[in-house]
Chain A
């Protein structure tokens, strides 16, 4: 082991005041970009020279510099002629271009380091123990101000050093708070941002608030329906954001019906709700209870959980998919406590036909992907980065990746007795998880120590211990992740967003709100219906999308609703319902709606996929798309879906015309079926005029076509 011997001797030579790799040189490699992903930090390095990504493994980098190319990178008698200096200053050709000047401090430091014999340093002294940032948070009274950030590193030996220049500082909203190379922060517009400060594997965050300088803000309190509104108001008041009041009954009904049941309210439902004389909050709350109890509620949330659990015949076969869907559907319809549902998935064993929850293991099959899915879906944590390197923005290490994977290393799959059946069992031998670097056995270990001391079994039943820890009320991630995720389904974004990327460097916009939701969920024993009911009864959820002069620029703090495009299944079902047509999907019983389909195999490459239905290839929320594109517009304008639906000979228009309804009635019905509201006087007049301009049926079809293509239909607001 020659390298280690040399390392040890170098470490002895290096004294604190000398230049060492750990303390002085490694940060330069990071700051100059050498270790970045597109450069030598890439998985395979760059042009034959590889460093660890963002320098997470300094020992590896040191050895790469020292021993690759047989040490040709250094010329110790003439340091200036070392490749390590000639390359970044472009004295010799360098694919990465000029990294720093010959006159720079970086150059001089590396030069001195080489002259001193390239010492590594002593990890017990030269490692960064922590970084401290100044100020801890930044508040600017108005846009246009700027502030200086200072970063201090404290080393293991207690020494400190100003590393402001070498630290990496990034803003998560660069058009709000911009950071330049000298760590000066410019506030550009009103709102909030977070600065992520990184230095040698340690990181810290600085919240930035840029206040609205406009005077004359007078907080006008609105009714608070629950703790949700209290926490939101507390923040809004601080930021001078006057919330929007609750929306009108028609928009509320449309929004809440789509969100809870995935469908549009029918014209009769709209009429009845608008005519209901009960006090507003009461009648809304009654409606919410009714929707949660409806069969469509279970369909809608089965789609969501089918996505997250990747229920697809690609992995499960046709019979398996129907079985898994049924298991999900009945769990949701029965409002099975969420912790129980997750425990059943993680501890399932036996035949995939007898215990459909065992399909959980059939989609990912291998321990590592199963672990990645488990942590991403149930803890909101993305471990995938840590497979190859320590997580760049989190404390998760590569070791933890394998320790967590070890919980699933004994899961075995073998063919069952029937066609397509698989048996999930606990392997009896050769099930240890090994580290890829040195093949050492990685014993299972929780990502975060359990609140109560637990002895983790190392036998093949180890995943039961994981289930206990994971769904525990004391687990700081489990309840928080689902509370945040559910919130996002009703607001279009999480309190932490993306919802499956929870980490210290991605803080919640309203920590008190998230904490309160989490506590409420735990207090109600993981009753997701309770959580949803609480959310949709809040004033914040019921707020109008219309803004006032104070909250018009706010898109983060839930001060008003933000229009969301209907999801692909919602859109398909809404078109069918509004046009009075029948759903028509291949391979499933007649009248099966988009939200009742078993998996993405049905109707593949059709309308649903075009509008962003996920393929269920991954457990990431990001697989579902809600953006808008030219092919989508072409389909809506000229494709068969809408054109056929409006011209359906048994559809809404045909029925209205055949029944000889008056113009006003036709127009009312079409508006109620599409925009879930009565037309305004002006809209009705325009419609009547249009109907009179030609054959009534044709003209009514045109009107329905236009309503189905309108933003008022494509969006929930």
Chain B
């Protein structure tokens, strides 16, 4: 057996976890990218820093929690009430005061009303899609920054493929790689979905599967099992260490091959995998039993609330980008908490959706703020579109009940907070019926550009697709006025 430098003799209990960790991260990951690549990267980072030197909010964010409300929440009933609009527009809900003076939101969001002093409410999200857009096309637009190239007449899309534009989290985990052994990009509780199309707009596309999100695919409100992140029963920590010692010896006996593969980063990934399994960092972060009952209650005892709580734990553990998808399928049944309220709007919003969103989002913002995490974490809550201000109107070819609302990308709202985003601000305003922005429209691409910018990534940077054609990271304007 080979000696590990710096490793003292074993005790009866075997090596400590800390000692094992050191083997993983130093012993195997001792090799680094050749200096050339490093210096090139550093030079590029310098250039970007220079370009945005002194710009408000640039590089403030370390991490992102993206709360993606797939299905299309009704902005007029939740975030942007219009009490003076005709009854077939204003709907059943009353506006309530918030902590932003003069800004009212829907009455079923009382906890958020009380938390608005921590966020900026954008009321002028807006875009005009080409042709008929359904959920997946809109989700793709929202999260990749590009309109999909193949949309069927019904607005349905093809399943994800290797030519797709990458989703924001994939770009971020590639452009801002983690140095610690942790999963960089996690999607909770399950992938995006419309009908049978799973994960479109939520995958790494032409960046390659290495940058796909780690998908939990389980319900955090139930017991979560993480076999791939846990030590296997028959392989306790000692045995895994033995195996890595052996592996190191075998690799070491072919030094020429080691040298020839110097730049392949195999050691780096093995070291991280070892640390990840052994440290249990990701596994612990996803173990909600480590939270008090009161804390779990605070976020809401349901899939969405517990997913949001898990997101906070993952950020604490060092994950770069956590995306929490609204747990229902985008075009699901509104009576079962899908935001897609064609057939029924007010009852489900009042009894099912709003209470969950209200509790979980307000809890997250307050909890993160108390822990100081909001300073460096950007939190965004948005759907792929809003809903038609006029009830019973068909905009998507779907049938709507008289009190139902259809898809509406022309004007909707989003909530953004943390990483220097202004606290207690309303940005943009909609017209009298919440049908179009009256001022300061924010395109989904502008929102993406602002997220990249907050992370210190130049939104104008060039990327290369699968055919090595140059493309822009995103074609959007940075909304620097969102920052305090």
Q: Point out which of B211, B234, B246 has the most chain A C-beta atoms below 10 A from its C-beta.
A: B246
B269 in contact with A38 (CB, 8 Å): no
A563 in contact with B1 (CB, 8 Å): no
A702 in contact with B232 (CB, 8 Å): no
Q: A709 on the interface (CB 8 Å rule)? A: yes
Q: Return the contact of B250 from the options A37, A498, A710 (Cβ within 8 A).
A: A710
Q: A714 on the interface (CB 8 Å rule)? A: yes
* Also in contact, A631 and B210, with CB within 8 A (given A620-B466, A638-B273, A702-B246): yes
* Also in contact, A625 and B208, with CB within 8 A (given A617-B163, A702-B239, A712-B250): yes
B257 in contact with A711 (CB, 8 Å): yes
- Which single residue of chain A is at the shortest CB-CB distance from B147? A44
A717 in contact with B253 (CB, 8 Å): no
Query: Shortest CB–CB separation between residue A286 and chain B, in angstroms?
Result: 28
B246 in contact with A382 (CB, 8 Å): no
Query: Shortest CB–CB separation between residue A418 and chain B, in angstroms?
Result: 25
Q: Point out which of B2, B183, B256 has the most chain A C-beta atoms below 10 A from its C-beta.
A: B256
B471 in contact with A563 (CB, 8 Å): no
B462 in contact with A615 (CB, 8 Å): no
Q: B398 on the interface (CB 8 Å rule)? A: no
Q: Return the contact of B257 from the options A622, A690, A712 (Cβ within 8 A).
A: A712
A643 in contact with B235 (CB, 8 Å): yes
Q: B277 on the interface (CB 8 Å rule)? A: yes
* Also in contact, A630 and B273, with CB within 8 A (given A622-B467, A643-B232, A709-B247): yes
- Which single residue of chain B is at the shortest CB-CB distance from A44? B475
B162 in contact with A623 (CB, 8 Å): yes
Q: Point out which of B211, B227, B232, B266 has the most chain A C-beta atoms below 10 A from its C-beta.
A: B266
Distance A382 CA – B468 CA, assembled complex (angstroms): 12
- Which single residue of chain A is at the shortest CB-CB distance from B164? A617
B269 in contact with A682 (CB, 8 Å): no
A622 in contact with B466 (CB, 8 Å): yes
B467 in contact with A382 (CB, 8 Å): yes
Q: A637 on the interface (CB 8 Å rule)? A: yes
A711 in contact with B258 (CB, 8 Å): yes
Distance A635 CA – B277 CA, assembled complex (angstroms): 11
B261 neighbours in A (Cβ, 8 Å) = 563, 711, 715
How would residues 227 to 238 of chain B score, 1 for a CB under 8 Å from any chain A CB and 0 otherwise? 111111011000
Task: Please report which residues of chain A, range 628-645, place their CB below 8 angstroms from some CB of chain B when the two chains form the complex.
Answer: 628-640, 643
Q: A647 on the interface (CB 8 Å rule)? A: yes
B253 in contact with A629 (CB, 8 Å): no
Q: A156 on the interface (CB 8 Å rule)? A: no
* Also in contact, A637 and B274, with CB within 8 A (given A629-B210, A630-B269): yes
- Which single residue of chain A is at the shortest CB-CB distance from B231? A638
19 A–B pairs (Cβ distance < 8 Å), ordered by A: A37-B469, A42-B475, A384-B467, A545-B257, A563-B261, A609-B209, A623-B466, A625-B208, A625-B210, A629-B208, A633-B272, A637-B277, A683-B250, A690-B1, A702-B246, A705-B243, A706-B246, A706-B250, A709-B247
The 4 closest A-B pairs by CB, nearest first: A629-B210, A706-B246, A633-B273, A633-B269
- Which single residue of chain A is at the shortest CB-CB distance from B160? A615
A686 in contact with B249 (CB, 8 Å): yes
Q: Point out which of A610, A633, A689, A707 has the most chain B C-beta atoms below 10 A from its C-beta.
A: A633
Query: Shortest CB–CB separation between residue B401 and chain A, in angstroms?
Result: 36
A638 in contact with B466 (CB, 8 Å): no
A717 in contact with B273 (CB, 8 Å): no
Query: Shortest CB–CB separation between residue B5 and chain A, in angstroms?
Result: 17
B228 in contact with A638 (CB, 8 Å): yes
Q: Return the contact of B270 from the options A637, A689, A707 (Cβ within 8 A).
A: A637
Q: Return the contact of A627 from the options B208, B230, B239, B273 (Cβ within 8 A).
A: B208
A614 neighbours in B (Cβ, 8 Å) = 162
Query: Shortest CB–CB separation between residue A121 and chain B, in angstroms?
Result: 29
Q: A140 on the interface (CB 8 Å rule)? A: no
Q: B265 on the interface (CB 8 Å rule)? A: yes
Distance A683 CA – B246 CA, assembled complex (angstroms): 10
- Which single residue of chain A is at the shortest CB-CB distance from B2? A686
User: Number of contacts between A and B (CB, 8 Å)?
Assistant: 153
Number of interface residues, chain A, beta carbon within 8 A: 62
Q: A612 on the interface (CB 8 Å rule)? A: yes
* Also in contact, A563 and B269, with CB within 8 A (given A38-B460, A705-B243): no
Q: Return the contact of B228 from the options A546, A635, A703, A717 (Cβ within 8 A).
A: A635
Distance A548 CA – B211 CA, assembled complex (angstroms): 37
* Also in contact, A717 and B260, with CB within 8 A (given A628-B265, A682-B253): yes
Distance A638 CA – B231 CA, assembled complex (angstroms): 7
How would residues 68 to 87 of chain A score, 1 for a CB under 8 Å from any chain B CB and 0 otherwise? 00000000000000000000
* Also in contact, A628 and B264, with CB within 8 A (given A702-B242, A702-B246): yes
B93 neighbours in A (Cβ, 8 Å) = none
Query: Shortest CB–CB separation between residue A8 and chain B, in angstroms?
Result: 36
A620 in contact with B256 (CB, 8 Å): no
A620 neighbours in B (Cβ, 8 Å) = 466-467
B249 neighbours in A (Cβ, 8 Å) = 686, 706
Q: A385 on the interface (CB 8 Å rule)? A: yes
Task: Please report which residues of chain B, range 1-44, place their CB below 8 angstroms from some CB of chain A when the two chains form the complex.
Answer: 1-2, 36, 40
* Also in contact, A634 and B273, with CB within 8 A (given A546-B256, A628-B264, A686-B1): yes
* Also in contact, A637 and B273, with CB within 8 A (given A620-B466, A628-B264, A683-B253): yes
B161 neighbours in A (Cβ, 8 Å) = 615, 617-618
Task: Please report which residues of chain A, range 665-706, place their CB below 8 angstroms from some CB of chain B when the two chains form the complex.
Answer: 680, 682-683, 686, 689-690, 693, 698, 702-703, 705-706
B250 in contact with A707 (CB, 8 Å): yes
A612 in contact with B467 (CB, 8 Å): no
A710 in contact with B247 (CB, 8 Å): yes
Q: A289 on the interface (CB 8 Å rule)? A: no
* Also in contact, A631 and B243, with CB within 8 A (given A38-B472, A615-B162, A711-B251): no
Q: Return the contact of A639 from the options B210, B228, B254 (Cβ within 8 A).
A: B228
Distance A291 CA – B180 CA, assembled complex (angstroms): 45
Distance A669 CA – B209 CA, assembled complex (angstroms): 35
- Which single residue of chain A is at the shortest CB-CB distance from B211? A629
Q: B276 on the interface (CB 8 Å rule)? A: yes
Q: Return the contact of B254 from the options A622, A698, A702, A712 (Cβ within 8 A).
A: A712
Q: B372 on the interface (CB 8 Å rule)? A: no
Q: Return the contact of A175 from the options B2, B36, B460, B472 (Cβ within 8 A).
A: B36
Q: Return the contact of A633 from the options B1, B242, B270 (Cβ within 8 A).
A: B270
Q: B347 on the interface (CB 8 Å rule)? A: no
Q: A345 on the interface (CB 8 Å rule)? A: no
Query: Shortest CB–CB separation between residue A98 and chain B, in angstroms?
Result: 12
A634 in contact with B258 (CB, 8 Å): no
Query: Shortest CB–CB separation between residue B121 and chain A, in angstroms?
Result: 27
Distance A632 CA – B208 CA, assembled complex (angstroms): 12
Given contact pairs A614-B162, A706-B243, enumerate 15 new A-B contacts (beta carbons under 8 Å).
Answer: A37-B469, A563-B260, A609-B209, A615-B162, A617-B161, A628-B265, A630-B210, A634-B229, A637-B277, A638-B277, A640-B227, A702-B242, A709-B243, A710-B247, A711-B258
- Which single residue of chain A is at the shortest CB-CB distance from B271? A633
Query: Shortest CB–CB separation between residue A584 and chain B, in angstroms?
Result: 17
A636 neighbours in B (Cβ, 8 Å) = 273
* Also in contact, A628 and B256, with CB within 8 A (given A612-B209, A618-B163): no
Query: Shortest CB–CB separation between residue A390 and chain B, in angstroms?
Result: 14
- Which single residue of chain A is at the shortest CB-CB distance from B258? A711
Task: Please report which residues of chain B, range 163-197, place their CB below 8 angstroms from some CB of chain A when the two chains form the complex.
Answer: 163, 183-184
Q: Return the contact of B209 from the options A631, A682, A690, A702 (Cβ within 8 A).
A: A631
Query: Shortest CB–CB separation between residue B201 and chain A, in angstroms?
Result: 16
A686 neighbours in B (Cβ, 8 Å) = 1-2, 249
Q: A562 on the interface (CB 8 Å rule)? A: yes
Query: Shortest CB–CB separation between residue B148 and chain A, in angstroms?
Result: 14
How would residues 18 to 41 of chain A score, 1 for a CB under 8 Å from any chain B CB and 0 otherwise? 000000000000000000011000
B234 neighbours in A (Cβ, 8 Å) = 647
- Which single residue of chain B is at the shortest CB-CB distance from A689? B1
B254 neighbours in A (Cβ, 8 Å) = 710-712
B272 in contact with A630 (CB, 8 Å): yes
* Also in contact, A634 and B277, with CB within 8 A (given A615-B161, A702-B239): yes
* Also in contact, A631 and B214, with CB within 8 A (given A38-B460, A38-B462): yes
